Amino acid sequence: MTVPTGAAGPAGLISPRLRAGDRVRFVSPASRPEREHVTRGAEILSGWGLDVEIASHAFDSFGHYLAGRDEDRLGDLNDALRDPGVRAIVATTGGKGAYRIAGGLDFAAARRDPKPLVGFSDITILHLVLWQRCRLIGLLGPHAAWQDWYGSQAADALRRALMQPEPVTVHQDPGELTAKVLIEGRSSGILMGGNLDTIGRSVGWACPSFDGAILLIEDVDKYIGAMDRTLTQLLECGCLDGVRGVAVGQFIRSADQRPGKWSIVDLLYDRLGLLGVPVLGGLPIGHGAHPPTIPLGATATLDTNTRTLTIEPGVQ
């Protein structure tokens, strides 16, 4: 099943919407989650009538930051991709480690039976490589290890993104630091991206072309120099050639404004201004409270006049 993307690029694989009784698999491709948080996530999704399963190695531990050995985490994810009864896959958490297994995904299974993968932060690498290799539309959304700061608003947004095919509109939050970043214009394209640092780490092996795309970026706990290096890398390697617009989410605890020092606002103007495309900051997407669920790989329209990012459904 495909959704047309017009001039923005090739059609993407869009998954069927979820319905009551469908099976959902929780997997841990990156770091180890807290068991009680996963239990809470399972309760929420079960309350929507979904049949929640937890992968065999979801609570394994290897080293001090991985949810088990690479082969076990990869095996759990590929089992979910290959199982025709599993209709959605939700990462339990991000952290570190998804990049270690991204190249081993069963891309043939993903193409044969598209199903949405939900997750953000380190899970960005999986969204990128699944688009690069399969054109699979994913969902940048809260993890299954449900945190208190997600809340009912985030739960409802995730439910609608999985079960109700309708466009998602994200409005600028004037209270976000990056709301000061604005280069006027309106553009449409395929929404791609996620965590900025992870996008940079994907260059050369898992990073798709952003030609014809609206690039979404966000990050947390990063120094100004590290973000400068990543943005410059993306510019110099040609990854951003043909980008149609940039949607700027939250940059939490990352170069706030201080006297005599560059802030994230200064850096984004300096780097993104070179692209000559519309840029809209202040979108409440990222590591903050009440995260929305955003389809990645779907057609989006960025409009600085209305201060909105509108994305077509990620399921049908």
Q: Is 121 a catalytic residue?
A: yes
The catalytic position among 28, 31, 121, 187 is: 121
Q: Which residues touch 146 (CB under 8 Å, ≥6 apart)? A: 37, 38, 40, 41, 44, 155
Measure the CA–CA gap between 143 and 80, rounded to whole angstroms.
16
The DSSP symbol for 269 reads: H
Structure tokens at 275: 């692209």
Distance CA 267, CA 170 (A): 23
β pairing state of 86-91 and 23-27: parallel
Alpha helices of 113-246 — where are they, by DSSP H? Answer: 124-134, 151-163, 196-202, 224-236
Active site residue 287: yes
Find tokens 């709301």 and name the residue. 179
Q: Take residue 121 and report the two structure tokens written for it.
A: 């932060």
Tokens read off for 97: 């480690």
Task: From the candidates 143, 187, 218, 312, give the one annotated as an active-site residue.
Answer: 218
How far is the C-alpha of 213 from the C-alpha of 167, rounded, in Å? 17
How deeply is 260 buried, as exposed, middle or buried, from its count of CB atoms within 10 A (0-12, 13-18, 19+)?
A: exposed
Catalytic residue among 31, 202, 287, 312: 287
Side chain identity at 138, as an amino acid letter? G
Query: Is 131:296 a contact under the CB 8 Å cutoff?
Result: yes
Is 34 marked active-site?
A: no
Please provide the DSSP assignment of 76-115 as one string.
HHHHHHH-TTEEEEEES--SS-HHHHGGGS-HHHHHHS--
Catalytic positions, written as ranges = 121, 218, 287
